[in-house]
Amino acid sequence: MIGRGAFGKVYVASHKLNKSEKIALKYIVKRKHDRYLNIDGHSPPLLAEVVMMLRLMKAPSCPNIVRFHDWVENKTSFLLIMEYAESCQTLDSYIRHSLRINENQARLLISQLIRAVKFCAERRVFHGDIHTANILVTTPRLELKLIDFGCAWPVTRKLFHSYDYRGAFLYTPPEILRHHKFHANPAYVWAIGIVLYEILHGDLPFHDRQSVMFGPIRKNPKLSAACQDLISKCMNRSPVKRLKLQQIEEHWWFNPTNPNPVQQIKKRR
């Protein structure tokens, strides 16, 4: 066993005919509250996680999302057959065991996370549980892969309700707690902001419901003004004022040659 989540256990296995070929097997015990979706070519409905992975695996796929190969269903369980990433650890583990992660390393990691998230959004998939334990990092190249779509659900034109969110509580967007409704893309941006914060601070910005909704976001004076600005714009508690998913990579933290918008305003004055 190499991992354990809220909805299953993950094992590393090798092919019976080619023992050098390793794969990851996610074992999921069936439960009454499992969510199923209809999909063309399959009857009866399939586990939502399988449907969402099939949607993401249609060519062209994204290298920053773990590959899904196949699945087996029986009366009591599902077995998901996936890519096994060599020389990897969770981002949570990488953060805890690193002395300090600098902004260049953080930029490399978060750029790949943004790529994975944008791909999910384009395929109309809401991951629903993005946090550092659901992100793999290979070392020393810092290649990132988003994993565990056990909370994933299709994106439609309708708002999501609070009961649709089944992710880690301390990553919960505040609009879910306040208004009990949310859109996928602003929730994605909030998660990106929290992951970036955790990478550079080694800790989460919030520790309970009250702080998620109202607590100040601690600033690290060692971080650049651009980085602090990006974090604050991703973690704006108003989803309407929050940075848009398509705008994140245009931020001046990713483009050092771009002018600082605050300085530009001061110059005009």
Global pTM reads: 0.92
Residue 260 is predicted with a pLDDT of: 67
Domains delineated in the chain? 3-83 (3.30.200.20), 88-250 (1.10.510.10)
pLDDT tens per residue, range 121-155: 999 999 999 999 999 999 889 999 999 999 999 99
Signed CA dihedral, 170, 173, 179, 180: sign only:
negative
Residue 23 is predicted with a pLDDT of: 94
Q: Find how far residue 34's CA is from the centre of its chain.
A: 21
Residues 6+ apart with CB under 8 A from 220: 200, 201, 228
**55 vs 99, 130, 183, 234, 266, CA distance in Å?**
38, 18, 20, 27, 47
Distance from C-alpha of 82 to C-alpha of 22, rounded to nearest angstrom: 10
DSSP class of residue 246 equals G
Q: Does 265 have pLDDT greater than 50?
A: no
pLDDT tens per residue, range 25-55: 999 999 999 999 999 888 889 999 999 999 9
The two structure tokens encoding residue 27: 């074992």
Q: ∠ CA 94-122-110 to the nearest 5 degrees?
A: 25
pLDDT tens per residue, range 44-88: 899 999 999 999 999 999 999 999 999 999 999 999 999 998 889
Nearest to 166 by CA among 124, 130, 122, 120: 130
What single letter denotes the amino acid at residue 72?
Answer: V
The two structure tokens encoding residue 51: 């449907």
Cβ atoms of residues 129 and 176 within 8 Å: no
Extended beta strands in the chain, E state: 3-4, 9-14, 22-29, 36-39, 42-47, 68-73, 77-83, 88-90, 125-126, 135-138, 143-146, 153-154, 160-161, 181-182
Q: Does 172 have pLDDT greater than 50?
A: yes
pLDDT tens per residue, range 155-167: 998 999 999 999 9
How many CB atoms neighbour CB 146 within 10 A?
A: 23
Query: Please, what's the largest Cα pairwise distance for the chain?
Result: 71
The two structure tokens encoding residue 30: 């069936």
**Between residues 182 and 86, the one the model is more confident about:** 182
Q: Does 117 have pLDDT greater than 50?
A: yes
